[in-house]
Amino acid sequence: MTAFKPLVFSGVQPTGNLHLGNYLGAIRKFVALQADNDCIYCVVDLHSITAQLVHEDLKGQIRSIAAAFIASGIDPEKHIVFNQSAVPQHAELAWIFNCVARIGWMNRMTQFKDKAGKDRENASLGLLAYPSLMAADILVYRGTHVPVGDDQKQHLELARDIAMKFNLDFRDNIRATGTGVDILVGDEPVHAYFPMVEPMIEGPAPRVMSLRDGTKKMSKSDPSDLSRINLMDDAETISKKIRKAKTDPEALPSEAEGLKGRPEAENLVGIYAALSDRSKADVLSEFGGQQFSTFKPALVDLAVTVLSPITAEMRRLMDDTAHIDAILRNGGERARARAEKTMAEVSDIIGFLR
Ligand code: TRP
C-alpha cells in the first residue's frame, strides 16, 4: 500500500477586512504548518464572486489577504502563495467535478442554504457549485490536508465524495494510465487518482466570538465594528474595542469549568490563551479571582504586542503593490506548473484528446 505525498492546502476569500478570528482560527495555523509540510495558500478570488458579483477594489482585497499571509510569517518562497484566478486549472477541474457531483449533494450544503436564503431560485449557479470549485482547489494539487474552520467540514466531506466517485467511476482508466495510488478508505482498498482530503479543524482558537455577544462568531459582516478586532486596527482602536467588550459582573474563575455559561468571559480568556499560546486553564491560574478591570488591560497589552508588528508589516506590504503582485505572480506560476500536470493526467483518464 502506498500513500499520497502529504500536501497542505487552504484558501481564504478576499472579501472584507481580516479580523482576529481569521488570524487565530486560520492564518496562525497556516504559519505553524509550514515547518513540517509542503503548503499551498490561496486567495480564492473565484469564490468571492459567487455570492456577490461586483466588488469595490477586488484587486486591493486580494493583495490585502496576501499581505496578511506574509506579514503573519508565511514564507512565499518555501511554500506557495497565489490567487486562484491566476491558475485556470482550478476552474477547469471544477467543471469536471460539476459533472461528477450530483445536484442533490449540492442542495444539501448548509452554507448554500444559509447564503442563498429564501430566494434560492435567484442565487447564482456559482454559489450552488461553490463546493465543487473548493474540491478542485485542493485536488488539482492532489492536496491531502486542509486547515479550515469547523463551518467548512461539510464542504470537505463533499470533496471526499467527489474524489471517491471519480476514483470508482474511472477505476479502469486510472489503472490503464498508471497514474493511481493504492490507498485504504476505511478497510476498503481503492486504486485512487485523488486522495481523501482530511480536515484539520483543531487549533488554539477554532472559534473566536464577537466582542459584543459571546454566542455569535466574530464576523466581518457584523454591522458593529466594535464586535471585532481587525488586523488593520491600530493600538488605540484595539484598546477601545477590548475596553468596551461585553462582560458579566463576576470576577474571573480560577478554573476553566467556571467559564461554562459565561460566553463573553470564555471568549476573552480564549483570546488571551490563543494569543499567548497557553491553555485557558493556565491563563485562569494567573487571572482567577481578578476583575475584568484588571484582565482587560492585560489583554489589550498582549493583543497589541502580538498584532502591531503584523499590522505594521501589512501596511508596509500594501504600500508596495509591485512587490505583492510579484509574489503572487511567482506563486501562481509555480502552482500552475503543478496543476497543469494534474489536468493533463485527468484529461487522459477521462479520455479527452488534447
Ligand atoms: N470555503 C472556504 C471558506 O469560506 C474558502 C475556500 C475555498 C477553501 N477553497 C478552499 C478553504 C480550499 C480550504 C480549501 O472558508
134 ligand 1 Cβ < 6 A: yes
pLDDT of residue 211: 98
318 CA → ligand 1 middle, Å: 23
Q: Cβ distance 105 to 158 under 8 Å?
A: yes
Q: Cβ distance 152 to 11 under 8 Å?
A: no
341 counts as catalytic: no
- pLDDT tens digits, one per residue of 60-119: 999 999 999 999 999 999 999 999 999 999 999 999 999 999 999 999 999 999 999 999
Buried b (16+ CB within 10 A) or exposed e, 143-163: bbbbbbbeebebbbebbbbbb
pLDDT of residue 150: 85
pLDDT of residue 203: 67
97 ligand 1 Cβ < 6 A: no
Q: How far is CA 206 from CA 170, 221, 343, in A?
A: 37, 18, 34
Q: How far is CA 125 from CA 104, 130, 210, in A?
A: 14, 9, 31
142 CA → ligand 1 middle, Å: 15
Q: Which residue's alpha carbon is nearest to atom 13 within ligand 1?
A: 10
CATH fold group of domain 8-204+321-350: Rossmann fold (3.40.50)
Q: What is the DSSP letter of 147?
A: E
115 counts as catalytic: yes
Annotated binding site for L-tryptophan: 137
199 CA → ligand 1 middle, Å: 11
- pLDDT tens digits, one per residue of 297-331: 999 999 999 999 999 999 999 999 999 999 999 99
In angstroms, the CA 22 to CA 65 distance is 10
320 CA → ligand 1 middle, Å: 27
Question: Taking residues 286-296, what's their average pLDDT?
Answer: 96
The superfamily in CATH containing domain 225-317 is Tyrosyl-Transfer RNA Synthetase (1.10.240.10)
Q: And the C-alpha cell for 198? A: 482530511
Q: Which residue's alpha carbon is nearest to atom 15 within ligand 1?
A: 12
pLDDT band at 1 (very low <50, low <70, confident <90, very high): low
Among 50, 134, 145, 160, residue to substitute to test ligand 1 (most atoms within 8 Å of Cβ): 134
Structural domain boundaries in the chain:
8-204+321-350, 225-317
- Which H, E and C letters describe 198-258, residue by residue? EEECCCCCCCCECCCCCCCECCCCCCCHHHCCECCCCHHHHHHHHHHCCCCCCCCCCCHHH
127 ligand 1 Cβ < 6 A: no
Of these residues, 217, 240, 280, 341, which one is catalytic?
217
Q: Is the pLDDT of residue 8 over 90?
A: yes
39 ligand 1 Cβ < 6 A: no
Of these residues, 29, 78, 220, 341, which one is catalytic?
220
In angstroms, the CA 207 to CA 26 distance is 10
Q: Which residue's alpha carbon is nearest to atom 6 within ligand 1?
A: 11
Question: Taking residues 223-233, what's their average pLDDT?
Answer: 96
Question: Taking residues 334-345, what's their average pLDDT?
Answer: 98
Q: Is the pLDDT of residue 17 over 90?
A: no
44 ligand 1 Cβ < 6 A: yes
- pLDDT tens digits, one per residue of 174-218: 999 999 999 999 999 999 999 999 999 876 666 899 999 999 999
11 ligand 1 Cβ < 6 A: yes
Annotated binding site: 13-15, 21-22, 137, 149-151, 208, 217-221
- pLDDT tens digits, one per residue of 158-179: 999 999 999 999 999 999 999 9
217 counts as catalytic: yes
pLDDT of residue 2: 66
What is the overall mean pLDDT for the chain? Answer: 95
Question: Taking residues 286-294, what's their average pLDDT?
Answer: 96
Note the pTM of the prediction, 2 decimals: 0.94
